[in-house]
Amino acid sequence: MSMALLVRSFREARWLLLGSLVTIFGFCMIRAWIVGRVEMSRFQDIVEILRPEVERYSAVDVAQLFTYPGRVGVTFNEPLVVLLMVTWAIARGSDSVSGPLGRGTLEMLLSQPISRFQLLFTKSLVTVVGCALIATAAWLGTHTGVHTTKIKQERPPVSIKLPVLNMRIEVPFTEVKEAPERVPLADFVDTSLFIPAAINLGCLGVFFAGLTTWMSSWDRYRWRTIGIVTGFLIVQMIVRVVSLAVDSAHWLKYFTIFTLYEPEVLTSYGVRYPTEVWTFYFADNKGMTVLGGFSLVSGLLLGGAGTFALGHWIFCRRDLPAPV
């Protein structure tokens, strides 16, 4: 691998990477701050009324959505977070072959003493490293937001201890609502719970980067590569929604890659089954067999590695058209 190629690939991607890192870090930090500002107990009664409808579209129990770890964990499934990761993957993957081919710069590059494999491998390496950095920035933003946010904690009413019964009882009408206590959100949220979610996010980026590189390896126009992968992304999201909304179409979940992207589920595993997070499968408290973190992560990584390999194989063997 040529260091000059690696530096060149990084320089081409640096501004998109920097923008993605700053945006996802800031969004995740603000998202954690918003969690600390919203008192969910006021909405709990409303959500309980709509519990069947909410659970239909949620991958985790509704009860988890009222806990601070559950609410912060949803950050990794916010549309902006997924969009930033997928945008990076598609933008860099589409610029691996069809991008420079369409601009007429690919032949000039290949006229240098480098191989096609070297050229594509360095671009793919920078793209994968970028996915890892963006996922890390998402976790760091969440960590920073949790550790810089304070939440209201109502002071408990005065309690007295009964001497004979040796028990404490609360005295009614002694709750001090005017002066709630401010406590750090970090007292209720362990940010290490979100590391599996961040890894799941990075693996989603690797999958779409590999898929886009594969499409780019045989294509001539970058706009067409982006259109094909974006269309695939939209169809996959629609299939995911239909599989959740329609009971008779539940089997469709096996045909969408988003079944393997479950960051809030991995967060709930960390809370409820901490020893089972990094397993391929295990039995939950209802006796049902569910996929563990290794299954979700390895499924995305295998898909990404396979499509990266296909892209390299096609690019190293295809006849390149003359620049237009």
Which pLDDT does position 48 carry in this prediction? 67
Alpha-carbon distance 261 to 82, whole Å? 10
109-145 residue pLDDT tens:
888 888 999 999 999 999 999 999 999 999 999 999 9
**What's the pTM value of the predicted model, to 2 decimals?**
0.87
Which pLDDT does position 187 carry in this prediction? 87
pLDDT at 40 over 70: no
Domain boundaries, the chain: 3-151+188-317
For residue 103, what pLDDT band results from cuts at 50, 70 and 90? Answer: confident
SS3 (DSSP) at 180: strand
Residue with tokens 């049902």: 288
Question: Strand ranges (DSSP E) for the chain?
Answer: 150-155, 159-162, 167-170, 176-184, 281-283, 289-291
Which pLDDT does position 102 carry in this prediction? 86
